[in-house]
Structure 1
Amino acid sequence: MGKPDADDPGLPDLPPEWGRVVVPDDASALAGEAARIRRELRGSAHDATPRAVPPLAMPLLVLLVAVVTAVTGLVAVTWSRSSRPTPQSTPAPYAPPPGLTGRPVPALDLVDDGQPVPLRGLVPAVIVLVDGCACAQEMAGTAAVAPPGVTVITIDADPAVHVPPPPAGTTVRALADPADALRTFLRLPARAGIATALLVDASGTLVKVVPEVRSTDDYQPELARLAG
């Protein structure tokens, strides 16, 4: 059995607040106490160690911030562009090539409901090329002032455009030019909403080109002489 250390004259004095200390004869008797102290020390060391950060956490966080920033910028740019009004394009002015008038028109076939119609079999004629415009007023005016014997031809007219019946002796034909042969002859680009008129006499000669029809006054004098 152990005995109080106070009975052993070889030990130094211990603090009185420790109370009575007994040293066992067998050191194995202290094994339980030592194990308890080691557990307490391990617990203290675990609490004092800062929690480890997973090695991929920081790169993933940086990547997430970059993605959010990029998406936010893209949405802002897209919203800004979509909110801008779309500018309206203005058709480029057309000037007939020099020396075009006075030449014969091509010996081409226009199309009427799938059937070929020789252009030179319709002269004298005023030909109105329509680019997707509702030009009923212009075509009606042309038909009204065309003299007897002059054919009024509309090329690719909008089906929704209604042309009133022409005066007696005047023929109005709505035809198509699938090969764009007349445009090639005129070097005329497509211009949305604009009508261009060609005046062709009885010999098939191009008398006048009206790049943009605004009024029959632009070509009425030449139109009156076509049948002569």
Structure 2
Amino acid sequence: MGMPDANGQGPPDGLPDLPPEWGRIVVPDDASALAEEAERVRRELRAGHRQATRRRWRSALALPLLVLTVAVLTTLAGLVAVTWPRTDRGGRPTVAGSYDPSTDPVGRPLPALDLVDDAQAPVPLRSLLPAAILLVDACPCPERVAEAVAAAPPGVRVVTVVGGRTVPPAVTGPDVRRLADPAGGLRALLHASPAPGTVGVLLVDRTGTVVRTVPAVGSVEDYRADLAALAG
């Protein structure tokens, strides 16, 4: 049986012993006397429930917020990469390596320009080296082309280039490769605007180095020695 309380009374028959540290347990005859205590217990339970709910919401929102933050940062990084200021190529042909059209090209690598043939197929200019490249966009000048063909040593190509995309009919023999430069990259490299009745020349060796430029050719004698050296 249970231990007696402070008044020497034990617990009612059939009930288990209560911890002595609980002290004297008084059960009122009127249950309304416990209303205040019951309300306090309900408030504590509600407060605990709200705290548990907030903890669950914080845990549930943590992962979506992390994913959203990573997505926003990734999007911002992409926008910065796209909108970062960069040099405007102005529709120029593709160039391998650094290429500043304002500098003297002599002694520098020929940019990797892609021209087009009469079938509108792309032709990498570097695949035709060594070459004497004649810009005939201001004048067909067949006599200038013919003397270049006659002076070119074996293995050195003569390439005529016009602006736009249309390659004109041949005005010389089959030894000339005729191409068009839609982007105008070679004319920009020569640093000279087309002048009526003139032909510009670029001489490029087999390593892709520009050896000589002549903005307006008077005759093949203007570049004969450098043309002969291209075969070396």
Are 2:206 and 1:186 equivalent residues in the alignment? Answer: no
Deviation at 1:185, TM superposition (A): 2.3
Deviation at 1:142, TM superposition (A): 0.3
* Counterpart AA for 1:203: T
Higher relative contact order (CA 8 A, sep 6+): 1
Deviation at 1:155, TM superposition (A): 0.5
Are 2:181 and 1:177 equivalent residues in the alignment? Answer: yes
Which residue of 210, 213, 217 maps to 2:221?
217
Deviation at 1:97, TM superposition (A): 6.5
Matches within 5 A, 1:120-159: 120-156=126-162, 159=168
Deviation at 1:212, TM superposition (A): 1.3
Check the 8 A contact 2:191/2:215 in 1, yes or no.
Answer: no
Taking the aligned partners of 2:141 and 2:170, their CA distance within structure 1 comes to 7
Deviation at 1:211, TM superposition (A): 1.7
Check the 8 A contact 1:125/1:152 in 2, yes or no.
Answer: yes
Unmatched segments (≥5 aa) in structure 1: 1-95, 167-171
* Counterpart AA for 2:178: A
Partner of 2:201: 197
Residues matched between the structures, number? 128
Which residue of 163, 172, 182 maps to 2:172?
163
Taking the aligned partners of 1:161 and 1:193, their CA distance within structure 2 comes to 18
Taking the aligned partners of 2:102 and 2:149, their CA distance within structure 1 comes to 27
Taking the aligned partners of 2:112 and 2:128, their CA distance within structure 1 comes to 11
Taking the aligned partners of 1:161 and 1:106, their CA distance within structure 2 comes to 26
Taking the aligned partners of 1:104 and 1:111, their CA distance within structure 2 comes to 21
Matches within 5 A, 1:23-172: 99-112=104-117, 113-156=119-162, 159=168, 162-166=171-175, 172=176
Q: Secondary structure at the match of 1:131?
A: coil
* Counterpart AA for 1:145: A
Q: Secondary structure at the match of 1:114?
A: coil
Q: Which runs of 4 or more aligned residues in structure 1 lie more than 6 Å from their structure 2 counterparts after TM superposition?
A: none
Taking the aligned partners of 2:159 and 2:102, their CA distance within structure 1 comes to 22
Q: TM-score, normalised by structure 2?
A: 0.51
Q: Secondary structure at the match of 2:107?
A: coil
* Counterpart AA for 1:159: P
Check the 8 A contact 2:162/2:180 in 1, yes or no.
Answer: yes
Q: CA RMSD in A?
A: 2.1
Check the 8 A contact 1:135/1:161 in 2, yes or no.
Answer: no
* Counterpart AA for 1:148: P
Deviation at 1:101, TM superposition (A): 0.7
* Counterpart AA for 1:123: L
Partner of 1:33: none
Taking the aligned partners of 2:187 and 2:171, their CA distance within structure 1 comes to 24
CA separation of 1:187 and 1:132: change in aligned 2, threshold 3 A: closer
Q: Which has the larger radius of gyration?
A: 1
Taking the aligned partners of 2:110 and 2:152, their CA distance within structure 1 comes to 20
